[in-house]
Structure 1
Amino acid sequence: MTGRLASVNIGIVTEAQWAGDASGRSGIDKRPVDGPVLLRTDGVAGDFIGERAHHGGPDQAVYAYAGEDAAWWTGELGRDIGSGAFGENLTTHALDVTGAVIGEQWAVGSALLQVTKPRTPCRTFAGFWGVPDLIKRFTARAAPGAYLRVLREGEVGAGDPVAVVDRPAHGVTIGEVFRALSLEPELLPRLLDAADLPEGLREKARRRLAGPS
């Protein structure tokens, strides 16, 4: 399966009351850039991340969101939702991001990426869009986008093909993980089948399945 990058987006420093970190700064406002961008194991070269306690790191080095899902929000809200508006580094086209399997690998430009986990909506996101009930609506939509590890550092740019070169047989998808943790707890046992899911989420699933201690 092959899609392509509609854009590569880099965060600018935004100072606002809704910004999540202690200094009141956020990098959620990401803008498309021209030319190649280096994806490193610790993140995207030139990107700004404000609240590092919840964003960034090897399991969240890159964030991808599908342009088709952004188009749905454009219709839902009646306003243009452009590339980077979800705080994503990579806006994709013709790629099923919600249906991506945990651990699957994407070859993009000279980089190799691995799908790790869904994005969890936060109050910074709601503040940036100016939609007070966005967290509730984003959760109900259950198209959260995917965080990615960088298995091989490399450069990517708008128009690059995105080829799914490896897909684990367990079949646990980004959408299933998101719904298991937010909407459908009956899916929690499935999360334990996904060996490449970050250990913090696997442990969260174990705790919820164990029930009150």
Structure 2
Amino acid sequence: MLSLNVGLPGLLRSAEREVLSGIRKHPVAGPVEIGPNGCTGDGQADLENHAGPDKAVCVYATEHLAYWSDRLGLPFAPAAFGENFSVQGLAESEVRIGDILEVGAARFQVTQPRGPCFKLGMLHGVPDLARRVQEAGFTGFYLRCLAPGAVSAGMPIALVERNASHPTIAEVVRVTYHDPDDVAAIDRVIACSPLADSWRGALERRRRKRA
């Protein structure tokens, strides 16, 4: 893990609006306790869409930062996407729903992609950034905490369990944002038991409308 990031909700402003958000994170050096409800010292303003046991930790791959810097002409550093874990080598095309990861004594399970919202665009002054993230597929993903523990930047992240039949984060992003008519793939995602209930519910509602 390159950076461990936390932040409490604060005001986020643009020319059009002002909202309370916990998207603004900052790197911390010392150990941080992480449990089912997330990181000590971290918080969310929107508890319906950005909190809960299935979203205890947000993860983003630092390999994507150069892509965004090149296209938007802005400096992007760890924590720029509101993530708790800034990592290398955990790309959306490789990580699968249900993957079990260990960081020290803490154990986590991959639950869903990160669904980018308008606050990401407000943070960087790029109003359509959420749409761009969906199109690029560089969403990041969420973890639930299976075993609590203290975590620090620089600690290795170990993949300890994987079901190769489970969809990747990239596959879930594809059927959610790009190929809503791929019914077979949607059914496969819905059937994946470790998937976050909220994401499954959204896909199930879409599936019923197309039945």
What TM-score comes out, normalization by structure 1 length? 0.90
Q: Of 5, 9, 31, which aligns to 1:9?
A: 5
Q: Is 1:148 paired with 2:119?
A: no
What SS does the aligned partner of 2:157 have? strand
What TM-score comes out, normalization by structure 2 length? 0.90
Q: Pick which of 68-77 and 32-41 moved more.
A: 68-77
In structure 1, distance between residues paired with 2:96 and 2:148: 21
Q: Is the 8 A contact 2:98 2:166 kept in 1?
A: no
Match of 1:197 in 2: 195
- Report the alpha carbon displacement of residue 117 of structure 1 after superposing the two structures with TM: 0.4
- Report the alpha carbon displacement of residue 109 of structure 1 after superposing the two structures with TM: 1.9
Q: Of 164, 168, 180, which aligns to 2:163?
A: 168
In structure 1, distance between residues paired with 2:113 and 2:89: 18
In structure 1, distance between residues paired with 2:89 and 2:139: 16
- Report the alpha carbon displacement of residue 14 of structure 1 after superposing the two structures with TM: 2.5
Q: Of 116, 125, 128, which aligns to 1:130?
A: 125
In structure 2, distance between residues paired with 1:74 and 1:17: 22
- Report the alpha carbon displacement of residue 151 of structure 1 after superposing the two structures with TM: 0.2
Return the letter of the residue paired with 1:204. Answer: A
- Report the alpha carbon displacement of residue 97 of structure 1 after superposing the two structures with TM: 4.1
CA offset digits 1:21-78 (Å, max 9, x no partner): xx93211110111111111111110112111111111000000000101222122212
In structure 1, distance between residues paired with 2:24 and 2:199: 26
User: How many equivalent pairs are there?
Assistant: 206
Return the letter of the residue paired with 1:77. Answer: L
- Report the alpha carbon displacement of residue 132 of structure 1 after superposing the two structures with TM: 1.4
Q: Is the 8 A contact 2:22 2:44 kept in 1?
A: yes
Q: Of 100, 107, 111, which aligns to 1:112?
A: 107
Q: Is 1:181 paired with 2:179?
A: no
In structure 1, distance between residues paired with 2:201 and 2:50: 19
Q: Is 1:41 paired with 2:39?
A: no
- Report the alpha carbon displacement of residue 122 of structure 1 after superposing the two structures with TM: 0.9
Structure 1: tracts of 5 or more residues without a match: none
Q: CA RMSD in A?
A: 1.9
Return the letter of the residue paired with 1:189. Answer: D
- Report the alpha carbon displacement of residue 102 of structure 1 after superposing the two structures with TM: 0.3
In structure 1, distance between residues paired with 2:188 and 2:33: 34
Match of 2:57 in 1: 62
Q: Pick which of 170-179 and 110-119 moved more.
A: 170-179
- Report the alpha carbon displacement of residue 98 of structure 1 after superposing the two structures with TM: 4.3
In structure 1, distance between residues paired with 2:66 and 2:191: 32
Q: Is the 8 A contact 1:98 1:145 kept in 2?
A: no
Q: Is the 8 A contact 1:61 1:150 kept in 2?
A: yes
Q: Of 203, 208, 211, which aligns to 1:210?
A: 208
The percentage of aligned residue pairs carrying the same residue is 38
Structure 2: tracts of 5 or more residues without a match: none
